[in-house]
Amino acid sequence: MKENDLKKIKKTLEKDLDSKRYEHTLGVAYISAALAMRYGADLKSAQIAGLLHDCAKCLSDHKRLSICEKHNISITDTEKRNPFLLHAKVGAFLAAEDYKITDPDIIQAILNHTTGRPEMSLLEKIVFVADYIEPGRKQAPNLTIIRKMAFEDLDQALLQILEDTLEYLRNGGGEIDTMTENTYEYYKQHLSQSLI
Ligand code: DGI
Ligand code: FE
Ligand code: FE
C-alpha cells in the first residue's frame, strides 16, 4: 500500500475498527489537518497519522501482547498491567508493517499519542491534541476551553490535556504511566520557562 493513499487507508481501517472507533479516527484526521493548517505542519502527514493513530485499538489485549512478543517489542510493567496502553506501540508497528508508512515522524506520532513524551515534534503534539478534542469527544472536562486553546496555543492545550488526564487517573481512572507524568512535568517546566 502506498503511503500517500488516504482512501486505501480509510477502507482498511473501516474493516479493522468498529464504527465508533472509525468515526473517531476520521474526526482525529480532520482536526489534525486543521491544526496542521494553523501551525504549518505537513497536511498529508497529519491526516495519515490521525487516521492510523488508533489502528490497533480494536484488537484484543491478547492479540496486542502476542504481536509484541512475536516481534520483540518491549513491554513495560505498567503496559503489562494495562495492556490497552499497548494500542499505541502496536499501532506504530502495524503502521510501518501493514500500512507501509516509512516517515518516522508519523510513526512517532502514533507511538506517543496516548502518554505523550517530552520534546514532542509538532506532528506528535497535533495528533495528541486532536485525539482529545475531535468533535465526537464528549466526556472530558474543560473540552470547550481546550478546543479553543488548541487553535491559539498548542503547547498550552497540550499541558491542560495532560493535567486533566492525570487528574482523571488520580481519581481512579487508572494507573499512571511514568511517561504521562514525565511529559506533564516537562511541559510544565518548559512553559513556565517560556513565560520569563
Ligand atoms: O485511544 P483513545 O481513547 O482515542 O485515546 P488515548 O489513546 O489517548 O487513550 C485515552 C485513555 O488513555 C484515557 O482514558 C486516558 C488514558 N491514559 C492516558 N495516559 C495514561 C492513561 N491511562 C493509564 N492507565 N495511564 C496513563 O498514564
Ligand atoms: Fe488511542
Ligand atoms: Fe484516539
Looking at residue 9, its amino acid is: I
pTM here? 0.96
Q: Ligand 1 test: best mutation among 165, 166, 178, most atoms within 8 Å of CB?
A: 165
- Nearest ligand (C-alpha, residue 171): 1
Tens digits of residue pLDDT in 78-106: 999 999 999 999 999 999 999 999 999 99
Which residue owns the Cα nearest ligand 1 atom 6? 114
Tens digits of residue pLDDT in 149-161: 999 999 999 999 9
Whether the per-residue pLDDT at 107 is higher than 60: the answer is yes
Tens digits of residue pLDDT in 164-192: 999 999 999 999 999 999 999 999 999 98
**What average pLDDT score do residues 133-146 get?**
95
Could you tell me the CA-to-CA distances from 102 to 2, 53, 70, 192 in Å, in that order? 10, 15, 21, 35
Q: d(Cα 60, Cα 62) in Å, to the nearest integer? A: 5
